[in-house]
Chains A and B, each alone.
Chain A
Amino acid sequence: MDLKDLYRDVIVDHNRHPRNFREIPDADRRADGFNPLCGDKLTVFVKLDGGRISDVSFNGSGCAISIASASLLTESVKGKTIPEAEDLFSQMHQLLTRDDIDIDVTSLGKLGALSGVREFPARVKCASLCWHTLDAALHQQEQVSTE
């Protein structure tokens, strides 16, 4: 367990320069995510075109893991259909929580950079907050909290 497994270059880069860190004023869907334990707060905005996510963004405050994870999320789900995004959510959930199964990280692209998080159980919720928030937005719930 090395700190460099957690704070990989991709994570550090996305924390310093988060992508799609903005509001979508005319978003079709939005949801707020809150982690009461550490105070992380994110809002995820989704613009839909037919059944497809044509634009996705986020803003808020949080630790490096939660900001980088949200930034990577926006890059990875843009252009995907809702079922495709949900499939990615379940793959990410496995990546972050299951250390007993091998997950093909290559299919996840840059998101694979988050695979080190599962070695740090206290930080799993940081990485998954944005995914739960996206899921809530897609299911038209307004708030989600990772207790």
Chain B
Amino acid sequence: MNAVHAVASATGAFDVAAIRRDFPVLERTIRGLPLSYLDNAASSQRPRAVIDAMSHYYENSHANVHRGVHTLSQEATDLFEGAREKVRRFINAKSIREIIFVRGTTEAINLVAQAHGRPNFGPGDEILISWLEHHANIVPWQMLCQQTGATLKVAPITQSGEVDFDAFAALLSPRTKLVALAHVSNALGTVIPVHRFITAAKARGVPVLLDGAQAVPHMKVDVQALDCDFYAFSGHKMCGPTGIGVLYGRESLLNAMPPWQGGGDMILAVSFDETVYNTLPYKFEAGTPHIAGAIGLGAAIDYLETLGMERIAVAELALLAYANEQLATVPGLRFVGTAPEKAAVVSFTIDRVHPHDLGTILDHEGVAIRTGHHCAMPVMEFFGLPATARASFAFYNTRAEIDRLVAALHTAREMLG
């Protein structure tokens, strides 16, 4: 496998040039211009170490896991379970029994809705979310409410894009059966001070699910320190593969939940009279899992840990500060989401230039950003906007890329403003 360039820099300064060489896609051009990939909140790119780990697995060790005694099956199982242990350590879960591999954050939340919510919730019960949520932390609860007669409650947000804590606390009631909150807003970048929200929920004995899709790639997450009950995240936003993600669940809760999908691997014994379900975490992993995906995710964790999550956070926040400063010089630019604590996400609009046109014009300059509603239509509605442009940064981005973004915005204004 190729050496990780960034390793050499791990002991010294954060060497972005070396880090960029670890990411093959960053070498490509768009219509002859270098790529500035500023759409990391939608999906990050992969270092060669992740791609190689997956290729190496397919070329050398692929077989089905948890089956058979032959060498390949053993190797595949060891690699797959090794990845689970990496995930456990990465988020500081107590046990690998609390680490369920799923397709991504969306599937993790649906799993909790169907396996925890559906058997336990009924008419009069309430699920409390916030106005900031991604559709993945709204729609599964709406579906659950339709199935059970429970009610969805939504804590409002402020003009700066923060969840209104007092309003949230006022919505907590004896009827509240679950709190489901974003850790970091995907549309605006707001870091929700989840400790405060979790403490308030716990005081009433309400379990808390955090949607960590936008948090795990950018900061150190410790599920025990957070004291949350469920934590969901995706591999592809943290330099890992698509199609793999994680549901962390507190063991006592997971044990009490029935399986949500039936099939192979999630059973101990099957007969037509009785089926005995497997133990955790396998009870929730029916069918052949995304083995290569889990291995790739493990490699992504190794890569991120080599750089250090604290150093990643520092580098990204420096990019955010620079972007805020430079974007503020663009006439007619309005920031959407101005919370004091943010991840490296900037959502904005420009007078008389629709975000969709910005997306096309920026693409022509080789700058990739997201435009639209960011799968958070209620957030857009709150700000009275059909869409925003969103630039989101990863540790491999540079100030020069932000300069190119700003220059392209000036071009867009000249063209359409």
Interfacial residues, chain A to chain B (CB-CB below 8 A) = 1, 3, 6-7, 12, 15-16, 37-41, 61-65, 120, 122-123, 126
Contact = CB atoms under 8 A, between A and B. Distances in A.
Contact of B386 (A40, A64, A65, A123): A40
A61 B385 CA distance: 10
A39 B386 contact: yes
Contacts of A39: 372-373, 380, 386-387
25 contacts: A3-B360, A3-B361, A3-B415, A6-B360, A7-B416, A12-B416, A16-B352, A16-B416, A37-B372, A38-B356, A38-B371, A38-B386, A38-B387, A39-B372, A39-B373, A39-B387, A40-B356, A40-B386, A61-B386, A62-B354, A62-B386, A65-B357, A122-B360, A123-B356, A123-B360
Going nearest first, the 7 A-B pairs with the smallest beta carbon separation are A39-B386, A63-B356, A63-B354, A39-B387, A38-B356, A64-B357, A63-B357
Contacts, number: 49
A7 B353 CA distance: 12
A145 to B, nearest CB: 14
A9 to B, nearest CB: 11
A63 B416 CA distance: 10
Contacts of A12: 415-416
A61 B360 CA distance: 18
Interface of B: 31, 352-357, 360-361, 364, 371-373, 380, 386-387, 415-416
Nearest to B411: A3
A126 B415 contact: no
Contacts of A37: 372
A59 to B, nearest CB: 14
A125 B79 CA distance: 45
Contacts of A123: 356, 360
A15 B373 CA distance: 22
A126 B386 contact: no
Q: Most chain-A Cβ atoms within 10 A of its Cβ — which of B355, B360, B415?
A: B360
Nearest to A123: B360
Contacts of A122: 360
Given A3-B364, A62-B354, A126-B356, A41 B386 contact: yes
A47 to B, nearest CB: 27
Given A38-B356, A126-B356, A64 B380 contact: no
A120 B361 CA distance: 11
